[in-house]
Amino acid sequence: MLQGKTALVTGSTSGIGLGIAKSLAGQGANIVLNGFGDAEGPKAEIAALGVKVAYHGADMSKAQEIEAMMVFAASTFGRVDILVNNAGIQHVARIEDFPIERWDAIIAINLSSAFHATRLALPAMQAANWGRIINVASIHGLVGSAEKSAYVAAKHGVVGLTKVTALENATTGVTCNAICPGWVLTPLVQKQVDAKAQALGLSNEEAKKVLLKEKEPSMQFTTPEELGDLAVFFCSPAGNNVRGVAWNMDGGWTAQ
């Protein structure tokens, strides 16, 4: 379905981003990976799906590096047709104790990076009259949780940015939507499981159950593969008139 298209997925050396990149590659899209840590393993996983893959290590907190990544993607594959703004970090602390440097980093990586990549990707998508921008927000783009002020503020911002991007392009073939996962067992969440296990003197398995029970009636983690399939739907012809939604995949978290 996506043969000949190019998808750039930020923060795709791990977790949800890698899952989405694999789902899009499974549909034939060439992939530009981004993120920290080992890139060779993820590159090999994508290449094994029979598509072309490239990697750029831009730090998503830096506008100039994002610009360099977008130039690299266009020069490598001609154009970015699908942009998945996924890179993100977390820090957990009460507002009065929240380190200023962590607040600034979360706003830069989780929110401003999506603005920069979007503004740079839009002109080519508009010229082609086809494009898909998928913002990986969070259930925390829709509701709050204590001790996550920067993350909740950034993710609510991402949902707002999604709506404006969708509206400004509503008469074109360029759509923008957000994905709002509940708990997904990636390194980002495993850190919170570890903190819970340590604080309450629990095993890893017990701590996971406590985490799920607090918020997620299904008592199941959403998987990167499930989120990847949702991204594929947004890119499919059936997604042509889906514009500006914040689609939760949250095991019932926000149905309560």
Secondary structure of 221-233 in HEC code, one letter for each residue: CECHHHHHHHHHH
Torsion from C-alpha of 182, 186, 192, 198, nearest 10 degrees: 140
Q: Which is nearer to ligand NAD, 87 or 197 (CB)?
A: 87
Q: Which is nearer to ligand NAD, 54 or 60 (CB)?
A: 60
Q: Which is nearer to ligand NAD, 122 or 158 (CB)?
A: 158
**Minimum distance, C-beta of residue 34 to ligand NAD, in the bound complex (Å):** 6
Catalytic, 55? Answer no
**Contact yes or no for 62/37 (Cβ under 8 A):** no
**Minimum distance, C-beta of residue 223 to ligand NAD, in the bound complex (Å):** 10
**Minimum distance, C-beta of residue 204 to ligand NAD, in the bound complex (Å):** 16
**Contact yes or no for 219/152 (Cβ under 8 A):** no
**Contact yes or no for 26/48 (Cβ under 8 A):** no
**Minimum distance, C-beta of residue 110 to ligand NAD, in the bound complex (Å):** 6
What whole-number distance in Å separates Cα of residue 219 and Cα of residue 89?
24
What whole-number distance in Å separates Cα of residue 208 and Cα of residue 186?
12
Q: Which residues are at the interface with ligand NAD (CB under 6 A)?
A: 11-17, 34-37, 59-61, 86-89, 109-110, 136, 138, 181, 183-184, 186-189
What whole-number distance in Å separates Cα of residue 185 and Cα of residue 224?
9
Residue 209 three-state SS: helix
Of the residues 151, 183, 234, 253, only one is catalytic, namely 151
CA atoms within a 13 Å half-sphere pointing along the CA-CB vector of 172: 20
Q: Which is nearer to ligand NAD, 25 or 136 (CB)?
A: 136
Active site residues: 151
